[in-house]
Amino acid sequence: MESRRPPILIILALFVIVIGATLTGFYAGRISAAQQAAAPTLPGTSSREAPSAEVASDQNVNELFAPFWQTWRLIHEQYVEQPVDDVKLMRGAIQGMLNALEDEHTSYIDPESLELYQAQISGTEYEGIGAYVDTTREYLTIIAPMMGSPAEKAGLKPGDQIIAIDGEDMTGIDGELVRQRVLGPAGTKVRLTIKRPGVEKPFDVEIVRATIKSTNVIGRMERNNIAYIRLIAFGDENTTRDLRQMLRKLLAENPQGLILDLRNNGGGLLNSAIDIASEFIKEGVIAYEVYGDGRKETFRASGKGLATEIPLVVLVNEGSASASEIVAGAIQDLGRGKLVGATTYGKGSVQVWNDLVNNQGAVRITVARWLTPKGRTIQGTGLTPDVEVAITEEDYAAGKDPQLDKAIELLTK
């Protein structure tokens, strides 16, 4: 599976609100334009899984696309605002074609967003408010604020809907366009009108955009001699390296138990998910991938994990998605540890990024569904924790974390 090297990340139509950058998700890998020219079928797929090439050869392509080019000419001849932006039309046509598949995780990313997204996954700096968002819903919806970001400091929470920006109503406006409206340079302000589940009236939040340094692994010793690691995202090989370094440091203190915090972790790379799960699972299946023709690929633990024996609790919530659900689902199915928190997001598919020619960005295409070790699919349903613990508005306001408290309690017992 050479295509599953770790170049570009993320799932869902989840995007990080940075200067045009997308983030979070669960991606198998990336295919360059040159690779596509040499091997037009997707990696891990057979020729019968890519029937579009056959269809194109069996039909008169000129006749098939005649209405498209007719529309193109009519726009240039008749549209009131001239000259039209040909590049914008081309990108819009690509997006429209992908939308016709009716798969929310198959999408287009423009070259500017692609470049900044790559910066995010490699851990470099970028600008924005620092939040994972879902562009596929009625309103742009917060999946999770990034730790220490302006979005988190402003109190944004999973499920928050952005219904207006700087006083302008966003009703009926495409989620991607709304996302772009939130973007802006560090130091500038944006006023978001938020509709929050359980809160009667919408309210305004003013956020100062900032330069954000991505860090994926945070660790410390908690009370009662419990080790704690928070994983922000499943990035490139540096994420696994940093996790192993943190595990060595914390395990040297002989902790009584370990908490892996995957809350608000929107996902990442497939390789990273398997490698990180292997740090906590000694042996066995971590996940399956199932393709359209029924083929199933099995991913197993590496057997080289550093924390495969220590008592373990995994924290999850509504912002735990994709790769986070792979790891949490494996730990739950194999009885390696308990899940504590709230039901996860529910992202059960795998995407591959495909670079477009002439540096025109990339398209991500859903190539497979994934299953937990027990064969469960979580698409649209998520994982139900072994111990469900809610965090209330009052908890947030008081700086309390009952989910973390419960995890420490379970490990202390």
Let me know: does 377 contact 68? Beta carbons within 8 Å: no
pLDDT of amino acid 106: 85
355 given a catalytic annotation: no
- Local confidence pLDDT in tens for the 413 residues of the chain: 222 322 222 333 334 444 333 333 455 555 655 555 544 332 222 222 333 444 555 567 888 888 999 999 999 999 999 999 999 999 899 989 998 998 878 888 888 777 666 655 555 566 789 887 777 778 998 876 876 789 989 999 878 999 999 999 999 998 878 988 898 899 999 999 999 988 999 999 999 999 876 668 888 999 999 999 999 888 888 889 999 999 999 999 999 999 999 998 888 888 899 999 999 999 999 999 999 888 999 999 999 999 999 999 999 999 899 999 999 999 999 999 999 999 999 998 888 888 898 888 888 888 899 999 999 999 999 999 999 999 987 887 677 899 999 999 999 98
pLDDT recorded at residue 26: 52
Q: Are 257 and 248 in contact (CB under 8 A)?
A: no
pTM score above 0.85: no
Catalytic hit among 322, 324, 349, 355: 322
pLDDT of residue 122: 56
Q: What pLDDT is stored for residue 24 in this prediction?
A: 39
CA distance 405 to 238: 30
Query: Can you tell me the distance from the alpha carbon of 353 to that of 339, in angstroms, rounded to the nearest whole number?
Result: 31
- Based on C-alpha coordinates, what's the Rg of the chain? 22
CA 32 to chain centre: 21
- Domains of the chain and CATH, by start: 125-213 (2.30.42.10), 217-412 (3.90.226.10)
Cβ count within 10 A of residue 205: 16
Q: Say which DSSP state 3 is in.
A: G
Q: Where are the alpha helices (DSSP H) in 209-322?
A: 237-251, 270-278
Judge whether 113 counts as a catalytic residue: no
Catalytic one of 157, 338, 347, 406: 347
User: Any idea which residue has 């066995």 for tokens?
Assistant: 284
pLDDT at 110: 81
Q: Which of 65, 126, 125 is nearest to 93 (CA)?
A: 65
Q: Name residues whose C-beta falls within 8 Å of residue 149's C-beta, 6 or more positions apart in sequence.
A: 129, 130, 131, 210, 212
Q: Which is catalytic among the residues 160, 261, 333, 355?
A: 333
Catalytic (active site) residue 293: no
Secondary structure E strands in 35-156: 107-109, 125-134, 140-145
pLDDT (0 to 100) of residue 296: 93
Kind of pairing between the strands at 296-300 and 285-290: antiparallel
Strand (E) positions, 32-160? 107-109, 125-134, 140-145
Tell me what pLDDT residue 12 has.
32
